[in-house]
Amino acid sequence: MSIEPTVSVVIPCYNGQEFIHETLTSVLNQTHAPLEVLVIDDGSTDDSAAIAESFGDPVRVIRQANQGESVARNMGMDAARGQWIALLDADDLWTPEKLEQQLAVTDADVVAVHTNLYFFGDESGETQVQDIPIEKRYAVEELAKGNTFCSPSSLLVKRHLAPRFPTWTQYAEDLIFCLELVQLGNIVLVEAPLTGYRRHQASQSAQKLTVAVDWFHTIERWLADNQQLFTAEQRDVIRTCWLSQITGAGWQLKERREWEAFWSVRDFLQDHAGHPAVDLLLANRIYPPWLYRAFDAMRLRSR
């Protein structure tokens, strides 16, 4: 009789009491039951840990002082005993057959399996990762421009091969993890949207737009540390892609009149003049704030 593969679920949690019960319920309703569910409480000041502990076995809470999501995930992976590690954020959900369908496509050469996502909360929709040509889907240079995996909550990773999340940055940790992962072997996609990704209204904030600058710095450092993976031309393509995203954020901030954040992005882009998208924003004339207030008032009255 064949022995079924075992799965350790790793859930980092910081002040997640609003969602952790629903998240754990979706894990424990899996048609392939996990060996263990490790909730890494990252110094929460709410009832997250107590809610998780109320489930009993196979849920186990590991507490640590607040050190960030990467440290929490790494601690969970280090404590895991299963053959596979399934990552899940404390506010996301799985459909009941998620683990079963992922394990069904594993073999000795598969390093990781991921699924498409469905969005819920403040936004609906689904990802369509299968539309990305297979020859580009997991290429490091393509992945560095935008994370094919979309969220670690969809990932099932072979434990003894799993890389660790970077602790030297608080930005783009998921992307760095995936950039390391795709170099280790075959990645498989389950096309069904088996992972629910919760969208929060806060994702539309100015901070979320300006954080693209911090992501750029993180990617720049990773590129510098892994120069052997790219040609100079590929590195330039990756940088151009990120600068275009940052420029797009700048235009949004101007349209929303969030001037402090806009000038922060614009000041950053001054050091990257020469890219067409950057030069277009830098050349755009900025008028005194009172003129924009008058224009916005006139536009509002004309509706």
How many Cα atoms within 13 Å fall on the side-chain side of residue 269? 30
Q: Please tell me whether the overall predicted TM-score, pTM, comes out greater than 0.85 for this model.
A: yes
Report how far apart, in Å, the C-alpha atoms of 18 and of each of 46, 48, 68, 165 are. Answer: 10, 8, 19, 25
Specify the residue for token string 């209204």. Answer: 201
Q: Give per-residue pLDDT as tens, 50-75.
A: 999 999 999 999 999 999 999 999 99
- pLDDT for residue 184 is more than 90: yes
Q: Give per-residue pLDDT as tens, 133-164.
A: 998 999 988 888 878 888 999 999 999 999 99
Reference 98, options 90, 108, 109, 88; nearest CA is: 88
Q: Give per-residue pLDDT as tens, 204-251.
A: 445 677 888 999 999 999 999 998 988 888 888 889 989 999 999 999
DSSP secondary structure of 210-277: HHHHHHHHHHHHHHHHTGGG--HHHHHHHHHHHHHHHHHHHHHHHHTT-HHHHHHHHHHHGGGBTBHH
Type of residue found at 193: P
- Fold adopted by 7-201: Spore Coat Polysaccharide Biosynthesis Protein SpsA; Chain A (3.90.550)
Averaged pLDDT, 79-91: 97
Reference 269, options 255, 257, 279, 284; nearest CA is: 279
Question: What residue ranges of the chain are covered by domains with CATH 3.90.550.10?
Answer: 7-201
